[in-house]
Amino acid sequence: MDAVGLSDAELVPRIADGSSEAESELCRRMAPRIRLYGLRHLRSASAADDLVQQVLLKTLEALRAGRLREPAKLAPFILGTCRMTVLDLRRTTHRQESLLAMFGNHLAPPPAAPPSVDEGQLARCVQALRERERSVIVMDFYDEHTARQTAAFLGTSEANVRVIRHRALKQLRTCMEVAR
C-alpha cells in the first residue's frame, strides 16, 4: 500500500523496516503539526522551524531503531520529543548542522499562510461588542495581558474573565462569518 494512504501509526513499522517513502510521508504530515507547537511555545517562526527539524530528526532516528514499540503512541512520543527539544532550544541556539546534512532533504517547512482576516470588518465587529467584552479583548490581546491582570481591572475572577473572553470570541467569529 502507498504510504500516503496509511495512518500515522501504520507508518511506524514501515519506517522501522527502512521505507524511505514512509519517512517522507511522516515528515510531510508532522512538520506542520510540530511547527504549530513551536510557534505556540517559542513565539518565533525561525525557532519553530528549528524545532521541526530537530524533532523530526530525533523521531526518525527512534523509529528507524524500532524504539517506539506501540505505534498508536506516536503522537505522545512526538509531543514528548517536542517538549524536550523546546527546553534544549531555550538553553541554546546552537543548531544541529551535522544531523541536518543527513536528513535535510525531508525537512523543508511549509510556506507560511497569507493573512486572511478582514481587518476593517474585525474592527467593526470588535466595536460592536459589549463594553466589558471589548475591554477584555483589547487588554488580553494588547500584549498577552494575563487573566489575573484583567480580572483585577474588572474586579472579577479569572474564571469570569475567561467566560467573558469566550463569549466575545464566539460573537466575533459569528460577526466575521456573517460578513463573508
Among 34, 63, 86, 107, binds other proteins (CB under 8 A): 34
Q: Which residues have a Cβ under 8 Å from the Cβ of 176 and sit 6 or more positions away?
A: 117, 118, 121, 122, 125
Residues 142-171 that bind other proteins (CB under 8 A): 142-145, 147, 149, 153-155, 162, 165-166, 169-170
Binding of other proteins by 6 (CB under 8 A): no
Binding of other proteins by 178 (CB under 8 A): no
Among 93, 119, 177, 180, binds other proteins (CB under 8 A): 119
The answer to whether 39 touches 48, Cβ cutoff 8 Å, is: yes
78: nearest Cα among 7, 6, 12: 12
Dist. CA 117–CA 93, nearest whole Å:
33
Alpha-carbon torsion (65, 70, 76, 80), positive or negative:
negative
Binding of other proteins by 122 (CB under 8 A): yes
Angle between helices 119-127 and 158-179 (to 10 degrees): 130
List residues near other proteins by CB under 8 A: 8, 29-30, 32-34, 36-37, 39-40, 75-76, 78-79, 82, 113, 115-117, 119, 122-123, 126-127, 130-132, 134-145, 147, 149, 153-155, 162, 165-166, 169-170, 172-173
